[in-house]
Copies of this chain bind each other. A is one copy, B any other.
Amino acid sequence: MDVHESIEDLRAGLRSRPHPVVLVPTMGALHEGHLSLVRAARERAGAAGTVVVSIFVNPSQFAPHEDFDAYPRPLLQDLDLCRSVGVDVVFTPAREVMYAPDASVRVLEEQLSQGLCGRSRPHFFSGVCTVVAKLFHIVQPEAAVFGEKDFQQLAVIRRMVRDLAWPIDIIAAPIVREPDGLAMSSRNQYLDAESRRQAVVLHQALQRAREAVLGGARNPQALREQVVAEIQGAPLARIDYVEVVDPDALTPLPSIANQVLIALAVRFGSTRLIDNLCLRKLPA
């Protein structure tokens, strides 16, 4: 496995690597969720292709009050994990490799990024789009893998790729969960024991919502209230948002027809967790 810290070295290293090249962009602190993205990348690349993982905690997607400095950076452990799942190339640039001191160009998505997480994190998706655009130009992959846990991010990246006419396949990988149902996240390690115990309520609430919808519930407002009430049963949970939207447009649904996304962000102490449930092809 090659590890490159500079764009020049990465490009030189990739020149001799077989195509297709499939990229998994990460901020490190890798867990089983990331490894499932790597497996999806390997499936797309084939045994002969090249799987590239980037590890970069991107400052431009954190607001000043957010956890950029505290974000975990266990690089050696991450590299061991990458080796263990057969990653070919890791790109782990320093901040100054990715951003010139006078950097002045951003990529902006202005519809799908407005609601949900975009409301409480207004700079987040512009930061994500900009850094992913750079990574795409640096690595030049045929495909890239993103997790469905960050459902809105996946939608925004797909839109960016469509609107900027990028010849890159975006592959979605399903949410990976802990045994008790909590969606895997690098931020789960911030949780104290009691918060960690209560955080399972997010998945439980989404599971009940799934049962309700599959049982015929079609009123978005009632569904949202059910999820909110269930989460509020966990005393440490502070809801950022719970929304019932169309999974393509990410806009509120007047009523649930054949598809629905229930997306939520909830804080436990200073830790913000997200989760979602997407149901498509519902019976009328």
Contact = CB atoms under 8 A, between A and B. Distances in A.
Interface of A: 7, 11, 98-100, 102-112, 129-130, 133-134, 137-138, 140, 159-160, 162-167
B133 A100 contact: no
Contacts of A160: 105
Interface centre among A130, A137, A138 (most CB of B within 10 A): A137
Counted per complex, copies of this chain come to 2
Contacts of A133: 164
Given A137-B167, A167-B11, A167-B137, A162 B107 contact: no
Given A165-B7, A165-B134, A167-B11, A112 B108 contact: no
Contact of A137 (B98, B134, B165): B165
Residue picked from A100, A129, A137, A163, most chain B C-beta under 10 Å: A163
B100 A104 contact: no
Nearest to A110: B104
Contacts of A137: 164-167
A100 B130 CA distance: 21
A164 B105 contact: yes
Nearest to A138: B165
A1 to B, nearest CB: 22
A167 B140 CA distance: 10
A104 B114 CA distance: 11
17 contacts: A11-B167, A98-B165, A100-B163, A104-B110, A104-B163, A105-B107, A105-B110, A105-B159, A105-B163, A106-B107, A106-B110, A130-B164, A133-B164, A134-B163, A137-B164, A137-B166, A137-B167
Contact of A100 (B103, B140, B162): B162
B107 A111 contact: no
A112 B103 CA distance: 11
Nearest to A249: B102
Contacts of A105: 107-110, 129, 159-160, 163-164
Contacts of A106: 107-108, 110
A168 to B, nearest CB: 9
B107 A159 contact: no
Contacts of A107: 105-108, 164
